[in-house]
């Protein structure tokens, strides 16, 4: 299990010319544990997205115990990536294929003047947001549906069907957190839902509109894609 601040990275997945979390982890692990070492992540987070409890399966020919592997990796990795826990897994375990769901949180800084301390972790929306209307709008999104209307890249996934098990809007004095738990996600799905929700919260759309967008399966009818830096992978479910 690992945590990372995604600000400096072009996402999780290895890219030939850009720094990524997986790319750096593989490079460090192969240097320490041998060139045959492989790393598979449970979630392919996008550029700028953070993770609190990402899960990765590391396959290596080295015979070090998990605690020693964790210590060695943390000593070599930069401070914005940390291995938070390590344990032996069954032979053939794949962190991505074994996952049955993931939980994400999206944070909104809703004060009139943006907090400089949240600039890398929350989307600043300076206008007041109606959390009650946003909660009402989410009702129709719960359950198993075709989420094509909230997908940035139509046809990228074999199926657009996702089972959204939980959706919540939590309101603090100056912050809102949108929590979502689902079995799988389409490209930019959470961020497009959040961008659409903000349109409802600002009063530009009625709560019922979000359900209409879902049923349309048309991405052009949804709201904008919220910025990546407000999104955090909270947990992978097994």
For this structure, is 46 an active site residue?
yes
Q: Nearest to residue 135, comparing CAs of 93, 177, 83? A: 177
Q: Is 105 in contact with 170 (CB distance < 8 Å)?
A: no
Q: Nearest to residue 209, comparing CAs of 192, 225, 196, 191? A: 196
Q: ∠223-169-151 over CA atoms, to 5°?
A: 35
| Residue tagged active-site, from 5, 46, 157, 163 | 46
Both structure tokens of 110: 């809703």
The strand pair at 101-109 and 56-59 is best described as: unpaired
Q: Is 118 in contact with 5 (CB distance < 8 Å)?
A: no
Q: Is 108 in contact with 178 (CB distance < 8 Å)?
A: yes
Helices (H) and strands (E) in the chain, counts: 6, 11
Instruction: Tell me what percent of the chain is helix, strand and coil, each rounded to the nearest 5.
Output: 30, 25, 45
DSSP string, 75-101: HHS-TTEEE-------TT--HHHH--E
Which sequence positions are flagged as catalytic? 46
């Amino acid at each position: 299990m690992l945590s990372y601040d995604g600000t400096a990275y072009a996402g999780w997945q290895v890219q030939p010319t850009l720094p990524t979390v997986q790319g750096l982890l593989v490079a460090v692990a192969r240097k320490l544990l041998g060139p045959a070492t492989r790393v598979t992540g449970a979630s392919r987070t996008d550029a700028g997205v953070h993770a609190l409890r990402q899960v990765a399966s590391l396959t290596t020919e080295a015979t070090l115990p998990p605690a020693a592997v964790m210590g060695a990796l943390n000593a070599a990795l930069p401070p914005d990536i940390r291995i938070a826990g390590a344990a032996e897994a069954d032979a053939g375990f794949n962190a991505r294929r074994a996952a049955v769901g993931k939980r994400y949180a999206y944070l909104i800084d809703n004060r009139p003047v943006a907090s400089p301390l949240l600039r890398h972790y929350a989307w600043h929306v300076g206008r007041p947001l109606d959390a009650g209307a946003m909660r009402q709008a989410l009702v129709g999104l719960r359950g198993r549906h075709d989420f094509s209307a909230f997908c940035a890249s139509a046809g990228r996934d074999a199926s657009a069907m996702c089972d959204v098990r939980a959706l919540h809007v939590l309101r603090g004095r100056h912050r809102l957190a949108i929590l979502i738990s689902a079995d799988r996600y389409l490209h930019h799905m959470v961020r497009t839902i959040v961008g659409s929700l903000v349109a409802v919260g600002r009063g530009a759309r009625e709560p019922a509109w979000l359900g209409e967008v879902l049923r349309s399966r048309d991405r052009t009818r949804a709201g904008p894609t919220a910025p990546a830096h407000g999104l955090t992978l909270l947990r992978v479910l097994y």
